[in-house]
Structure 1
Amino acid sequence: MLQEKILEKIQSYLLQEKEFSDLDFTKLNLSVPKNINHGDFSTNFALLNSSTLRSKPLELAEKMRKVIESNKDDFFDKITIEKPGFINFVISNKTYQSFLKEVSSLGSGFGSMQNNGTKVLLEFVSANPTGFLHLGHLRNAAVGDSISRILSFTGYNVTKEYYLNDYGNQIALLGESLKARVFEKLGIDNQIPEGGYKGDYLIEIAELLVSKMGKESLLGEDLLFFSNFAVDYLREQIEIDLKELNIEFDTWFSERKQIHESKYIAEIYNLLSSLNGSYSKDGASWIKTSEFGDNDDWVIKKSDNSSTYFMNDIAYHHNKFNRDYKVILNIWGADHHSHISRLKASMRLLSNDLDKLQFVLIQFVRLVKDGEDVSMSKRSGTYITIKDMLEEFNGDLVRFLMVSRSSDSHFDFDLDKCREGSDENPIYYIQYANARINSILKKYNSESFDIENVDLSLLNSEKEIALIKKILDFPVVVREASSSLAPHKVAFYLQELASIFHGYYKITKVLVEDQSVSSARISLLYSLRVVFANGLNLLGVSSPDRM
């Protein structure tokens, strides 16, 4: 797109001078100056090569400027230098206008990148199947799915995986809690165990179970039956809730089946032992993570011979590393930060390819209602589920808000302020811009419209040029969001684009008597529609034709 074309022009002009022919042009780059008076784009190429050419940076920048200036056509409007050695470029309006044709021709592919199909295993959400998903999981889900969409859009081959923690003490407690609720329905005294799950959702599951099976059958079932029934039911509900948010996983990895029943965890114990990576102390088994970058060693097998949560995670990640992926990406809650160092140390012990392991940490969501915090606890049953949220709020609003800030910043979800159509609802502002655009396009006779025959030089107002510039920023924003795993950058961009458009719409009539002017403005709106649709899709949000 535009930046690639600028770099191509600069390189071709400089290579015409023998003095510059041996320079490393892979270092040629562009940035956007913070001071708008310094132009549209800037390069520090002179600074990077001043020592190689034994020249002062500012003098070299001026020499390069003159070479480019002597060759330039109407692509650049102005080229200047700035201390300590930057070369600044003002792009001509004609250049900006001409790139609208590329936006139109690429359509849904505008902003995408060709990559080598690098395979990425992306694990996110992975909430324990001991209750319904709640607001705390929602941000992880929205960020994870948006990252998947952005990576796929930029040429990666992404597999989305949910790690189903369906084994261990919490699952046994879930089974005991359900059994108590079932017996309660059958008129048999049976208390929920200490530390068990007390949410009303278990009453619903118990009612379902009682309706499907007779009393005698249920009385004959063991704890594993109740645990498995609860897990299967809750997993199904998790899938349903995620689909409501336009999120679907490619694979579900069962800890019970794929780590324990398959005896995979025993293989990892043996592997650690063969590598002299573990030892026994105080009746437990420990992993030597302190020798591989962590501050401490950690228990992996308790004195009762059961594996720790950490050991299960080691086995799972060893499984990940043995699959054919170049990138292993985990989206974790910020409360797991301390877990990263020990896991990396474990993988360093077991693998030579630690660089493939990456993490994105998600800060907490604080739910606020009537100015007060709303606590979220599965075991006490006092939490707001995703299902609750979607009954009150539009799914697009919920998803957008969850990615509207950097993942490493805390987020307050204020139930009183986030009403549809209010000033606190940024997605409404964006979707309304898109709906306005579609309304105008429907009024225009587009059957014979061909952007190749449009005089785009008529898009010359300050607002129109600002819109074109912003449209052409989209591929850069997508690339940055992909490389930094930061979907909020797309959200910020769409809000800025919508703001510029609404300002333009207030002062500009698109369809006027002059057909040439109307066609030019329609071309601009077509490009805007492409960007809104592509950008919103990257965030898993719809782009409705009407509001």
Structure 2
Amino acid sequence: MSPSSVTTPEESLETRLCALLTTAVQKISPSSMLHPALERPRQSAHGDFASPIALQLAKGLRRSPREVATQLIEALPSSTLVERVELAGPGFINIFLTAQARQEVVHEILRRGSLFGSSQKGAGRRVQVEFVSSNPTGPLHVGHGRGAAYGASVANLLGKAGYQVHREYYVNDAGRQMDILTVSTWLRALQQSGKLKSLPFPGNGYQGDYVETMAREAAQRFSDLVICEEPLLSALGLPQTNDLIAFPTEQEELHMDALIAAAKELLGPTYRALHRFVLTEQLADCRQDLEEFGVVFDEWFSEQSLFDSGAVALVVSRLEEAGYLYTEKGARWFRSSAFGDEKDRVVQRENGLYTYFASDIAYHVDKFERGYDLIVDIWGADHHGYIPRVRAALKALGYDDSRLSVPLVQFVSLFRQGEKAQMSTRKGQFITLRELRTEVGRDAARLFYILRKSDQHLDFDLDLATSQSQDNPVYYIQYAHARIQRVLERWGGDPAQLENSALHPLIHEEETRILQILYAYPALLEQAAGDFAPHLVAFYLRDLSAEFHAYYNRVPFLEGESIQVQARMALLSAIGTVLRDGLSLLGVSAPDRM
């Protein structure tokens, strides 16, 4: 390799390597306008960087990519950054860095701070991430918490990768479940007033304490809410009796439908007011709960707005005009099987009411019309069957469904002292997200939720989450950060001086391993963002913390010559910066003291 040109130390490592490649390109193809790009291989055996520039040049030069790559390697200027260069595969150029180059990652981290690891992969691209979106029919439970922690971390990673991220919660405020919650609240108010004697509370109603609380508040707010039992029994077509009326379990749904219809008839405008009241109460509780969990949304999108604006009727009309609807037994069906779904789907029932699927189509059309380059729907694993039908509708309407990604979040099981806790939303026997935070803390909850791939079942060990041991990853990682801050305090020097520290003393075995891990951080973040895999960040932070703790136990940081001490303080400061950044992406704090 020929001698390199002079570069300024402010230039990033990637910029300087690209400059070397550009020089080589100009030597073998002076007229080329191609700008070399660098990739970070996922396997260390493939080098620290790889470039596909030879594959891009080959066609214009009318040579094989491997031949072009060989010429580029020969023309590459020598540099203190590059230990060796290898030809790989069909024509990739793999670059292996020197120890000095890897040491420079410390300066880069200290110089860029929380911007280290950021990329422009998504620059100029808008992405919408929709997550949680649970029915506003009760407090968020621990299952919702996993979706919240996962979705927020994915959104943070995409932002780190340069995307313009819009975080959205889809409010299911137009469906039957809200009617059931409204009726449940009304019936509890009647019970509390002593008016409901012979009619039992329905087994499929919402039965948590929060319903009792809303019922008391609603009775105070709406003067005409509480009525005598007789009109209700009459509306239900039931005889007046002093005995408790029993309903077979198989008739629960029909009974609930009748109760909803009776409530609307007897309460009139008050029913809508009560419906708005319970919706507002539950949304406010949900918003506060999520904010306390460190999850904030840019928009809370109302399903009802799609009906009010006519968007649902419009998409159904568009499907019909395109010839993809047919009528059978009074219902209107979408030919989703023609687009890869396992069977056709109903969009409008025989009673004229649109299905949930119809509003789902309208919502996704709205997303596409807002112009997002990437749409990420984070759904519970029980919704996996909805993916092909939504894609089918988008294809039928002429949209590119490749812009839609749907990561699935599996269920969560809580374990305390080896015993599994049970959850049920309607029965009110669930463990809420708020209760979980109270028991284990926000940090432990956020990290534990993403310790496994989202599509894998998660067993949440409450005892481990509250333990102070190296087996508890949140404690282990936070303790590493706190230890670093304590050492820097004992050193007592000026942190601003560390950015220009000489780093050549960093040759200890532990230091070399830590440098390699720090160097891999940007590639790790890019992979985690591209794969929607925040668990990779958690694993990385745990590995980095493990190396630091081993380093802490074996190396006397504050002993030796001042140049060596300062180099080590620079390294520790860089480790602390990366730990803080990684934890922040996962919604976890980085305490200075523990």
Q: Does the CA contact (< 8 Å) of 2:440 and 2:466 recur in 1?
A: yes
* Separation in structure 1 between the aligned mates of residue 575 and residue 335 of structure 2, nearest angstrom: 56
**What stretches of structure 2 of length at least 5 have no aligned partner?**
1-10, 228-265
Structure 1, residues 157-184: CA drift from partner, whole Å, max 9, x if none?
1111111111222111111111111111
- Counterpart AA for 1:183: L
Q: How does 1:276-291 map to 2 (within 5 A)?
A: 276-291=323-338
How far has the Cα of 1:226 moved from its partner? 3.1
1:520 is aligned to 2:570: no
Specify the SS of the correspondent of 2:194: coil
Residue 298 of structure 1, CA deviation: 0.7
**Offset at residue 423 of structure 1 (A):** 4.0
1:251 and 2:299 equivalent?
yes
RMSD: 3.0
Contact 1:367/1:373 (<8 A) preserved? yes
Give the 3 Å change call, closer, same or farther, for CA 102–272 of structure 1 in structure 2: same
Structure 1, unpaired ranges of 5+: none
Q: Which amino acid aligns with 2:221?
A: M
Aligned to 1:101: 107
Are residues 529 and 56 of structure 1, via their aligned partners in 2, closer, same or farther at CA, if it must alter by over 3 Å? closer
Q: 1:260 aligns with which of 292, 307, 312?
A: 307
Deviations 1:51-94 (A, max 9, x none): 9877796x9877765554xx323222345678998866542221
Residues 48 and 113 of structure 1: CA distance in aligned 2, closer, same or farther (over 3 Å): closer
Partner of residue 126, structure 2: 119
Structure 1 residues 294, 421: closer, same or farther in 2, change over 3 A?
A: same
Deviations 1:346-395 (A, max 9, x none): 01112333232221111221222343432322112221110110110111
Deviations 1:165-214 (A, max 9, x none): 1122211111111111111111121532342112222122223334x437
Could you say which residue in structure 1 is the equivalent of 2:245? none
Aligned residues: 540
Q: Distance in 1 between matches of 2:437 and 2:430?
A: 14
- Within a 5 Å distance, the mapping from 1:402-413 to structure 2 comes to 402-413=449-460
> Which residue does the alignment assign to 2:436?
389
Percent of pairs identical after alignment? 36
When residues 310 and 81 of structure 1 are mapped into structure 2, their CA distance, relative to the original with a 3 A threshold, is closer
CA distance in 2, matches of 1:368, 1:327: 37
Equivalent residue, structure 1, for 2:464: 417
CA distance in 2, matches of 1:395, 1:204: 26
Distance 1:50 1:112, change over 3 A: closer
The Cα of 1:6 is off from its aligned counterpart by: 7.3
Q: Partner residue of 1:213?
A: 221
Select the structure of larger CA radius of gyration: 2
Given that residues 176 and 193 in structure 1 are in contact (C-alpha distance below 8 angstroms), is that contact kept between their aligned partners in structure 2? Answer: no
2:287 counterpart (209, 227, 239): 239
Cα distance in 2, alignment partners of residues 78 and 396 from structure 1 = 43
Given the alignment, which residue of 116, 120, 138 partners 1:131? 138
Q: CA deviation at 1:249?
A: 0.9
Pairing of 1:352-371 with structure 2 (within 5 A): 352-371=399-418
Cα deviation 1:252-293 (Å, max 9, x = unaligned): 11112x122333322223222222221211110111222333
In 2, are the aligned partners of 1:167 and 1:255 still within 8 Å (CA)?
yes
Farther off after superposition, 191-200 or 377-386: 191-200
Query: 2-side partners of 1:448 and 1:364: how far apart?
Result: 45
* Distance change in 2, residues 1:24/1:116 (3 Å): closer
Structure 2 counterpart of 1:311: 358
The CA distance in 2 between the partners of 1:301 and 1:387, in whole Å, is 38
The farther-off stretch of 6-15 and 430-439 is 6-15
What is the SS of the residue equivalent to 2:520? helix
1:223 to 258, 262, 271: 271
Query: 8 Å contact 1:7–1:29 — kept in the other structure?
Result: no
What TM-score do you get using the length of structure 2 for normalisation?
A: 0.83
State how 1:81-92 maps to structure 2 within 5 Å.
89-92=95-98
SS in 1 for 2:124: coil
